[in-house]
């Protein structure tokens, strides 16, 4: 049998000697009472964008779903199996979270693949299909005149956050709680190189620095 990655075992050792002693009572409490996180976070699978690290969150604080390009599908109650929708249902119905945060980020590989429409993203490939949920039927995503490639990429990375927030509102149970003021939706964008966080101002429709 293949051996378990040593660096993970080393990391677990560090966890048990350094972090666990200070958090043991919290883990016990969470085990007995169950989790009751106030926030659901929908982020990208990108290894550089770890929500627990960025928000310095401990056990039981964040209910996290990560996928390629932090996308939320539209509400689609059909015979398909929908992972994000299932997680959303548990967060909203069961855990009754007060906030849902969609966290986008710089240098997103999923967005880049979508923009470049690169091979080998054939229609049969998973990323190509997955990224299709980002666009509405008939919508064309193009670089604007005089827009640099970098600005274009950033604009689309941020648009993915807007689209996910829009799609969240297509879920009746989300819309209902938001309209009753029991839950809030938020957008954020993480700059990998600087470790910078920008929070979406829903009124101005702009991301502003959290610092």
Residues that bind Zn ion (CB under 5 A): 44, 46, 108
User: In whole angstroms, how close is the CB of 19 to Zn ion at the nearest point?
Assistant: 27
User: In whole angstroms, how close is the CB of 151 to Zn ion at the nearest point?
Assistant: 18
User: In whole angstroms, how close is the CB of 110 to Zn ion at the nearest point?
Assistant: 5
Cβ distance to Zn ion smaller for residue 44 or 188 = 44
Cβ distance to Zn ion smaller for residue 85 or 107 = 107
Which DSSP category does 98 fall into? S
| CA pair distance 145, 142, nearest whole angstrom | 9
| CA pair distance 42, 84, nearest whole angstrom | 9
User: In whole angstroms, how close is the CB of 69 to Zn ion at the nearest point?
Assistant: 5
| CA pair distance 211, 199, nearest whole angstrom | 10
Cβ distance to Zn ion smaller for residue 68 or 183 = 68
Cβ distance to Zn ion smaller for residue 25 or 47 = 47
User: In whole angstroms, how close is the CB of 109 to Zn ion at the nearest point?
Assistant: 6
Cβ distance to Zn ion smaller for residue 46 or 61 = 46
| CA pair distance 3, 7, nearest whole angstrom | 11
Interior angle at CA 63, CA 58 and CA 67, nearest 5: 115
Contacts of 87 by beta carbon, 8 Å cutoff, 6+ apart: 40, 63, 65
């Amino acid at each position: 049998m293949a051996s378990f990655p040593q660096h993970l075992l080393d990391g677990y050792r560090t966890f048990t000697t350094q972090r666990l002693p200070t958090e043991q009572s919290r883990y016990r409490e969470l085990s007995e009472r169950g989790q009751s996180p106030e926030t659901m976070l929908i982020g990208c699978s990108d290894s550089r964008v770890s929500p627990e690290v960025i928000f310095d969150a401990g056990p039981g604080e964040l209910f996290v779903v990560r996928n390629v390009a932090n996308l939320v599908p539209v509400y689609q109650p059909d015979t398909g199996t929908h992972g994000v929708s299932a997680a959303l249902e548990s967060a909203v119905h069961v855990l009754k979270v007060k906030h849902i945060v969609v966290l986008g980020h710089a240098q997103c590989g999923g967005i880049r693949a979508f923009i470049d429409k690169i091979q080998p993203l054939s229609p049969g490939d998973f990323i190509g299909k997955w990224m299709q949920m980002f666009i509405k039927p008939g919508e064309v995503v193009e670089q604007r005149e005089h827009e640099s490639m970098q600005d274009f990429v950033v604009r689309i990375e941020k648009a993915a956050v807007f689209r996910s927030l829009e799609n969240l509102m297509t879920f009746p149970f989300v819309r209902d709680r938001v309209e009753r003021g029991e839950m809030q939706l938020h957008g954020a964008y993480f700059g990998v190189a600087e470790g910078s966080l920008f929070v979406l101002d829903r009124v101005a429709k702009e991301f502003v620095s959290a610092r």
